[in-house]
Amino acid sequence: MIIYDALIIAIRGLFANKLRSLLTMLGVIIGVGSVITLVSIGEGVRSHISGQIQGLGSNMVLVTPGKGTAGVTATSLGGAVSKLTFEDALAVEREAASVSNVAPVIESSANAEYEERRLTLVSGTTESYNEVRNADLASGRFISRGDVAAYKDVVVLGDLVKRELFGGASPIGKTVKVNNKPFKVIGTMKKKGYTLTINNDDRVFIPITVAEELFDTEQVSMIFVQARSPETVSNAVDETKRIITRRHKRRDFAVSEQKAILNTFQGIMGTLSGMLGGIAGVSLIVGGIGIMNIMLVTVTERTREIGIRKALGAKRRDIMIQFLMESVFISAFGGVIGIGVGLWGSRILTDIVPKLPTVISPWSIITAFSFALLVGLFFGIYPATKASRLDPIVALRYE
């Protein structure tokens, strides 16, 4: 009953000084709310971009120029220019037993023009791109093997390019100029959205052989390699490395698995989420200091009460439990309000900035609330100890 009685006294004390109690809880409310909101932003971004990486395609392996990690080119490394070619991609497709599809890509910006002109990203590729990248068609057809072999001037429009050049009209069969060269529209793509910072809808696709002529290059920007199954991805990586190294006589390219890219990114974002939560948690420490200050004031104000209780037989343990319960109850009540503030803040952020995804993490709620309780307990120990050690005679004489 000691704890129950102490809890009742704590609740009465809390509501007896409503404004002071609210101000005391403010640091805890802000701290818990900040932890939940910031972690929800970090988790939302991680979930969103992880989905984009997984949307690159299933069982995907990425080959890029340069000896660094995938995506870092030789130019950025300051080394000799590395050249991945269409022939490298054909060799991998022909010789790698663990590979089902290979899609080399030449990418460059160019003007696409129908009645209006707009700058867009041109991707020169092969028929395999549609399957490797899960790039679904909205209408018409994608580039075929015959288009690549015959150097046909055909183009497939991304969703954004199609809407901006043709509006709601069908572009199939129409002629679009890419860098002033006429191309026949044979298909349009479904809306796919962003992959990291690249808008997949703001691009057009042409045969890779035509792209080599259009941009006067034999170097491909990257090669997408699709393994036959999740179990053969590692074999596909090894075979791709072996085949291209043999052709180049050196390792001047980088190969990475989709899973490795995803794991690296998730690790980085997990650390970032933890850091955001830790930074927000500092306000909980500040809130704890506020609780301790107010509890010290409360001990001073209730010195005579403490003396009377001790004179009537209350032990040091009873006094200590009473003030600890008050401190913990303040932090717990503030923590509950802070959870509501955090959930509301995450919802408001999503409504205000639709492109900023938030994911409420149960562990962030549990961690923030538990830490709030520990803060109340830790910062309540000193005031409670001070109260329990008061001499009853001195306390009764206190004015």
The two most distant CA atoms of the chain are separated, in Å, by 105
The secondary structure of 338-399 as a DSSP string is: HHHHHHHHHHHHHHH-TTS-----HHHHHHHHHHHHHHHHHHHHHHHHHHHT--HHHHHH--
32 phi and psi angles, rounded to 5 deg: -65, -45
Once rounded to an integer, what is the mean pLDDT over residues 26-54?
Answer: 79
Once rounded to an integer, what is the mean pLDDT over residues 169-187?
Answer: 94
Residue 319 zone, left/alpha/beta (φ > 0; ψ -120 to 50; rest): alpha
Does the pLDDT of residue 393 top 70, yes or no?
no
In the DSSP assignment, the letter for residue 73 is -
Give the 3-state secondary structure of 284-330. HHHHHHHHHHHHHHHHHHCHHHHHHHHHCCCCHHHHHHHHHHHHHHH
In the DSSP assignment, the letter for residue 102 is E
- Residue 262's pLDDT is what? 64
Which tokens go with 125?
């590729």
255 vs 6, higher pLDDT:
255
Which tokens go with 113?
């023009």
Q: How far, in Å, CA of 272 to CA of 293, rounded?
A: 33
Does the pLDDT of residue 174 top 80, yes or no?
yes
Residue with tokens 């100029």: 177
Tens digits of residue pLDDT in 83-124: 899 999 999 999 999 999 999 999 999 999 988 888 899 999
Candidate ranges 127-131, 154-158, 188-192; pick with highest mean pLDDT = 154-158
Which of the four pLDDT bands, split at 50, 70 and 90, describes residue 73?
A: very low
Q: How far, in Å, CA of 158 to CA of 170, rounded?
A: 13
What pairing do the DSSP bridges indicate for beta strands 181-189 and 154-157? parallel
- Residue 197's pLDDT is what? 67
The secondary structure of 185-217 as a DSSP string is: EEEEEPP--EETTEETTSEEEEEHHHHHHHTT-
CA-nearest of 150, 108, 110, 109 to 126 is 150
- Residue 70's pLDDT is what? 47
Tens digits of residue pLDDT in 215-234: 999 899 999 998 888 788 88
